[in-house]
Structure 1
Amino acid sequence: MLKKRVLTALVLVPSFLATLFLLPNLWWAILMLAITLVALQEWANLAKFHKNQTAIYLILSLVVGVVSMYLGRVQIQEPEDAIFQIFSLYAGMASVVFWLIFVPVWLLKQFQIKNKVLMAVLGWLLLLPLWGALVSLAQVSPRTLLGFMLLVWIADTAAYFAGKQFGKHKLAPTISPGKTWEGVLGALLAVSVYAVLVAQYVHLNMINTLAASTLLLGLSVMGDLFESMMKRQAGVKDSGNLLPGHGGVLDRIDALTSTLPAALLLILLINFN
Structure 2
Amino acid sequence: MLKQRIITALLLGPLVLAIVIWGDKKWFMALTAVIQVASVYEWLKMNRLPFMASIVLAVIVTAGSCYFAHLMMVTPGFAQHYVLIAFGLVWVVALLWLWQFKLGHENRKAQLFLKAILGTEAIALFAIAFLMIRVEDQGQWWALILLLTIWVADVGAYFSGKTFGKNKLAINISPGKTWEGVIGAQLFVIGFALMVSHYMPIDWQTSLWVFPLVALFSVVGDLAASLGKRQAGIKDSSNLLPGHGGFIDRFDSLIAAAPLYYMLLFVL
Q: Look up the equivalent residue of 1:169 and give its one-letter code.
A: N
Q: Higher mean Cα deviation, 165-174 or 7-16?
A: 7-16
The 1-side partners of 2:49 and 2:68 are apart by 30
CA distance in 2: counterparts of 1:88 and 1:4, whole angstroms: 41
Which of 99, 107, 113 does residue 98 from structure 2 map onto? 107
Q: Structure 1 residues 64 and 137 mapped into 2: Cα distance closer, same or farther (>3 Å)?
A: same
Match of 1:82 in 2: 76
Counterpart position of 2:135: 139
Greater alpha carbon shift after TM alignment, 189-198 vs 237-246: 237-246
Percent identity over paired residues: 36
Query: How do residues 116-195 of structure 1 correspond to structure 2 at under 5 angstroms?
Result: 116-140=112-136, 141-195=139-193
Which moves more between the two structures, 226-235 or 90-99?
90-99
Structure with the greater relative contact order (CA < 8 A, sep ≥ 6): 1 or 2?
1
> Which of 227, 230, 235 lines up with 2:233 in the alignment?
235
Q: Which moved more, 1:245-254 or 1:3-12?
A: 3-12
Secondary structure in 2 matching 1:177:
strand
Which runs of 5 or more structure 1 residues have no equivalent in the other structure?
none
Q: CA deviation at 1:255?
A: 0.7
**How far does the alpha carbon of each residue in 1:181-239 deviate from its partner, in whole angstroms, 9 at most, with x for none?**
11111101100100011112225222221111121122111111111111111111111
* 66-75 or 168-177, which deviates more: 66-75
* Structure-2 separation of matches of 1:254 and 1:228: 9
Opposite residue 90 of structure 1, the aligned amino acid is: Y
Deviation at 1:72, TM superposition (A): 4.2
Distance 1:75 1:125 in 2: 17
Query: Normalising by the residue count of structure 2, what TM-score does the alignment of the two structures yield?
Result: 0.87
- 8 Å Cα contact 1:92/1:264 also seen in 2: no
Q: 1:206 aligns with which of 193, 200, 204?
A: 204
Greater displacement, 158-167 / 110-119: 110-119
Displacement of 1:94 after TM fit?
Answer: 3.2
Alpha carbons of structure 1 residues 98 and 69: separation in structure 2 relative to 1, 3 Å:
closer
In structure 2, relative to structure 1, the CA distance for the partners of 1:227 and 1:70 (3 Å cut) is: closer
4+ runs deviating over 4 angstroms: 1-7
Compared with structure 1, are the counterparts of its residues 24 and 75 closer, same or farther at alpha carbon in structure 2 (3 Å cutoff)?
A: farther
Q: C-alpha distance in 2, partners of 1:168/1:10?
A: 33
Query: Structure 2: how far apart are the matches of 1:102 and 1:119?
Result: 10
Q: 1:55-82 deviations in whole A, cap 9, x for unaligned?
A: 2343233234334434543564x7xx33
Within 2, Cα distance between the matches of 1:157 and 1:245?
19
Question: Partners of 1:234 and 1:58 in 2: how far apart?
Answer: 18
Q: Any conservation in 2 of the 1:89–1:265 contact (CA below 8 Å)?
A: no
Equivalent pairs counted in the alignment come to: 261
